[in-house]
Amino acid sequence: MARKSFALRTESHVAEIGDDIELEFQPEVMGDEFLDAYEALQDTYTELGVDPSNAAGMTPAQLRTTTDAVRAFLAGLMLPESAAQFDTMRLPHRVIVALLEWTMEIYGGNGGQRPPTSSNGSAAASPPRGTRGTASSRSKGSTPARGR
C-alpha cells in the first residue's frame, strides 16, 4: 500500500510592505473559496471588457474599478485585522499587482499561473524551428583528406 502525507499550513503568510507594515494572509484557503474569489475578480474584468495585463489600455475609471476589485480579492484572503488595515492603506499600483501575483502563487498552487479555469492559462505555442544554415563547417573533420 502506498502512503503519502500532506501537511496543512498553520502559520499565516506575511507580506512585508516597507519597513513597518505586515499584512497577514490566511494560512490555507480552500480550493473552492479561492476559485470563487478569483472568479468574481475575473467577472469584473469581463464586465468592464478589459485585459488585466494591459493597464495602459484602460480608462482611468476602468483602472479604478479593477484596482478596487483586486483590493477586495486580496482583502478576502487576509486575516480580518490585516484586511481592515489594508482597506485604509494607500499603496502604489505596482505593489497591489505584486500582492495579487504573490497570492496567485501561494494559493493557486500552480507556480503563479492563473487557475486552470481561466482561458488564459494555456501554455504559449512553441516558437517555429529555424532553418539550418548553409555555411560550410570549418572543423578539420569535415575537410577532404589529401593524398588518399
144 vs 148: CA distance, rounded Å: 10
pLDDT bin (cut points 50, 70, 90) of residue 135 is very low
Using CA atoms, how far residue 77 sits from 32, 107, 115, in Å, is: 13, 9, 16
From the CA atom positions of the chain, what is the Rg in Å? 24
Residue 21 parent element (H or E):
strand 21-25
Cell of 118: 481561466
Mean pLDDT on 10-24: 95
- pLDDT recorded at residue 131: 45
Within a 10 A sphere around the Cβ of 31, how many other Cβ atoms? 12
Mean pLDDT on 19-33: 90
Task: Locate the DSSP E strands across the chain.
Answer: 13-17, 21-25
pTM of the model: 0.70
